[in-house]
Amino acid sequence: MSALFTIENEIRYEIVRKIFEGGMGIVYEAEQLGARNFVKRVALKVIRQNYASQKSFIENFVGEAKLVADLIHTNIVQTYQLGESRGVYFIAMELIRGVNLEQFTQQLEDKKAKLPLELAVFIASRVTRGLAYAHAKTDKDGNPLGLVHRDVSFKNIMIAFEGDVKLTDFGIAKARGFLEDKEGEVVAGKADYMSPEQADFRITDGRSDIFSNGVVLANLLLGRNIFKGENAEASRANIMGMPIPDFRQLDNRVDDRLNEILHRSLVHDLDERYPNAEKFLYDLEHYIYHKGYGPTNETLGRYIRELFGQNTPHPTASRGETALISRDPVTASVKALE
């Protein structure tokens, strides 16, 4: 027996501010309005109008929303709704009060601070938890989705001021039946964080995300990305050809065990790399907790609040770039202003 609830007035949203602007879309903070003055703060990812008419782009945007709708994990940004109004598509997502790792490390640099080693490993371990969950995800019939994020990087990892670490933006992820995928024909992802197989236009699996997360960990420890070149082509060449360094010589805080963990996550030979995220996670967590105590969300939360003075940048949208959510009580209408 099933029950059907019909809601006469669809969900409405009102824009508060612009959070992030990318090449293909804009993310806004918005208020979801409901019955009896119900208000929930969310993030709205809106497609730019010049992409709204491109069928393949729309299909992948919709595919991303469907893919992540059932990814419910504390270390993955939650998706609430896929919407369409006046020909513009948007995704309503969990709003994270915090910063991405790019902003986080920039603040460290500005404050001339060095991230404690145990917090760097903790952040990488939380990302690995999210990856382990996503990689193991199955469809409703129990068939593995074969999900690979393919864009694990500083911009796509967020830290909330409460200390939660969240993986976001599955826009170029691959998973059977959800997204149009031309892997092997085109290269996807940020060059500085690609796995060797990504950079070489080869087919990827979950081990590719492990490599990318290894780059994240090394970057957090050293304060720089060892693979970054003058341009994307140079970065890919470094990823594919540069020998993995002895991290003990680059940072004297790195001991033998952590050096081994980094090397196993970053090794080019897939048979020698961590076979899955669960194995990587075990080693990361054993490293920081084997003495019986270690960092927690609260530890990271205190650190980031002190680093930012409990404030985060609140960029405001200029009038010419704002998106509006209609106050029409029937539907949520998104319109990009000229």
**Catalytic-residue membership of 283:** no
Report the alpha-carbon distance of residue 152 to residue 167 in Å, rounded. Answer: 8
First to last CA, the chain: 49
Cα-trace Rg, the chain: 21
Smallest CA-to-CA distance from 149 within 135, 163, 128 is with 135
Token couple for 209: 């995300």
Give the long-range contacts of residues 312-318, CB within 8 A, separation 24 or more.
Answer: 312/97, 312/98, 312/99, 312/161, 313/99, 313/103, 314/17, 315/17, 315/18, 315/19, 316/17, 316/18, 317/15, 317/17, 317/18, 317/28
What is the SS3 assignment for 58? helix
Token pair 């119900």 is found at 38
String of DSSP letters for 260-312: HHHHHHH-S-TTTS-SSHHHHHHHHHHHHHTTS----HHHHHHHHHHHHTT--
Smallest CA-to-CA distance from 24 within 47, 56, 57, 52 is with 47
Catalytic entry in 70, 139, 141, 151: 151
Helix (H) or strand (E) holding 32: strand 25-33
Backbone angles phi, psi at 335, to 5 degrees: -140, 120
Show Cβ contacts of residue 190 under 8 Å, excluding neighbours closer than 6 positions. Answer: 151, 153, 155
Report the alpha-carbon distance of residue 154 to residue 219 in Å, rounded. Answer: 9
Active-site residue numbers?
Answer: 151
